[in-house]
Amino acid sequence: MSKRSVWVDTSGSKGYRFHDEHPFHPIRLELTEQLLRLSGEFPAAELIVPPFAEEEAEQAICKLHRHDYVDTVLALSEEHPDPEAVRKADAFGLGADGDTPFFPGMHAATRSIVAGSLAAADAVMSGSADHALHLAGGLHHAFPDRAAGFCIYNDAAAAISHIREKYGARVLYVDTDVHHGDGVQWFFYTDPDVFTLSIHETGKFLFPGSGFHHERGDSSGYGACLNLSMEPYTEDESWLECFGEALARAAAVFRPDVIVSQHGCDAHAFDPLAHIHCSMKIYREMPRMIRECADTYSQGRWIALGGGGYDHWRVIPELGAYCGWRCRPLRF
């Protein structure tokens, strides 16, 4: 990282854990952070812990999500939740048999993730940093009234809303997860000052079943939404050509004040939850392209969040090898 970059502490989000067999497991963060520390890319002096951010995150959650949904998340966060709350869980996307099952402490754990993304936004927008990375963030599928796709509260949308309200900045949101960034898109679908760009596997074959080219925004936000819907088995060259051209054109026309990006790494060929056949090359090139756009159009202001990626034992070692680092056995 550069001297003007900060890494947001993720310790408060370690409780975001559905169950041991669930693919969205905090071991993903531990493996990545170990790799970065051992490779010398994670200097402790550049960590920031969100100060007094929990209350601000609570307020952001209540502004963004429906009150009956937040109340249900709170009730289901108890060690032994009320049976009435359990009966309501399915209606809010939190059923025990769904992809986002409720678990003890989930409200506090997700609030910490929201707090981290708000802190990243403030670090960049206040001028104390040019870039901020919050690896635990990027819960882009959550909706105002329900959880979806492993996401309970939408920290990306919370950070963007915070930037709009506090700083009045125009935001370019770039989503590189293999799954369409649907939650963020729909939050800002009518907002002309938030441009959402998502590259993903086509919804014809993959969750969440959206993100098609005709989704372009609505009302005054028409034209501020761009979806790159890629066919299964797409490889590096096609993926990067589409992404690079779309990003360059969107940034040139929209001219953002800041870029917020979501960096799922599940378009990798080894990922078990998708069908794209890219390598680690795209995860070097896409951040480089985003940084160039930030330098050109937003005075370097760039907030990067994490995302999906579910083949831990192949992708993380390959990332290390790609960076020229000899991997050692990792201990937890």
The number of C-alpha atoms within 13 Å of 302 and in the hemisphere containing its C-beta is 25
CA distance 283 to 27: 20
Q: Give residue 318's pLDDT band: very low, low, confident or very high (50, 70, 90).
A: low
Please give the DSSP secondary-structure letter assigned to residue 267: T
- What integer pLDDT is reported at residue 332 of this predicted model? 28
The average pLDDT across 176-185 equals 98
Helix (H, G, I), strand (E, B) or coil at 306: coil
Within its chain, how far is the Cα of 175 from the centroid? Answer: 8
pLDDT of residue 31: 81
Identify the H or E element spanning 31.
Answer: helix 27-38
Q: For a pLDDT cut of 70, what percent of the chain falls above it?
A: 90
Q: Are 119 and 53 in contact (CB under 8 A)?
A: yes
Residue 317 has pLDDT above 60, yes or no: no
In order of 40, 328, 332, the CA distances from 325 in angstroms are 10, 9, 19
Residue 219 CB burial class (10 angstroms; 0-12, 13-18, ≥19): exposed
Q: How far apart are CA 14 and CA 207, in angstroms?
A: 25
Residue 315: per-residue pLDDT: 56
191-223 pLDDT tens trace:
999 999 999 999 999 999 999 999 999 999 999
Query: Which whole number is the average pLDDT over 221-247?
Result: 98
The confidence score (pLDDT) of residue 313 equals 63
What tokens were used for 56?
């601000």
- Decide if 16 contacts 26 (C-beta within 8 A): yes
The neighbouring-strand residues paired with 131 are 5, 302
Tell me how far apart the alpha carbons of residues 195 and 187 are, in angstroms, rounded to a whole number: 11
Residues above pLDDT 90, as percent of the chain: 78
pLDDT at 185 over 90: yes
The answer to whether the Cα torsion of 117, 60, 265, 212 is positive or negative is: negative
Q: Tokens for 87, please give them.
A: 């009966």
- What would you measure as the largest C-alpha separation in the chain, in angstroms? 54
List the one residue out of 69, 53, 98 whose CA is nearest residue 207: 98
Residue 220 CA: distances (Å) to CA of 12, 31, 86, 194, 308: 38, 43, 40, 11, 31
Q: Which two tokens stand for residue 331?
A: 């201990």
Does pLDDT of 314 surpass 50?
Answer: yes
Residue 237's alpha-carbon distances to 162, 174, 244, in angstroms, are: 36, 19, 10
Contact, 174 vs 262, CB < 8 A? Answer: yes
Active site residues: 141
Q: Measured between alpha carbons, how far is 92 from 196 in angstroms, rounded to an integer?
A: 25
Q: Where does the pLDDT of residue 12 fall: very low under 50, low under 70, confident under 90, or very high at 90 and above?
A: confident
- In which band, very low, low, confident or very high, does the pLDDT at 126 lie, cut at 50, 70 and 90? very high
pLDDT at residue 44, rounded to an integer: 57
Question: How many angstroms separate the CA atoms of 57 and 101, rounded?
Answer: 22
Q: In 3-state terms, what secondary structure has residue 78?
A: coil
DSSP-based three-state secondary structure for 303: strand
What pLDDT, on a 0 to 100 scale, did the predictor assign at position 177? Answer: 97
Q: Provide the pLDDT for residue 326.
A: 42
> Which sign, positive or negative, has the C-alpha torsion 178, 179, 180, 183?
negative
Over residues 27-59, the pLDDT tens digits come to 888 888 877 777 777 665 566 766 678 899 999
CA-CA distances (angstroms) from residue 25 to 90, 117, 167, 273?
A: 21, 19, 34, 14
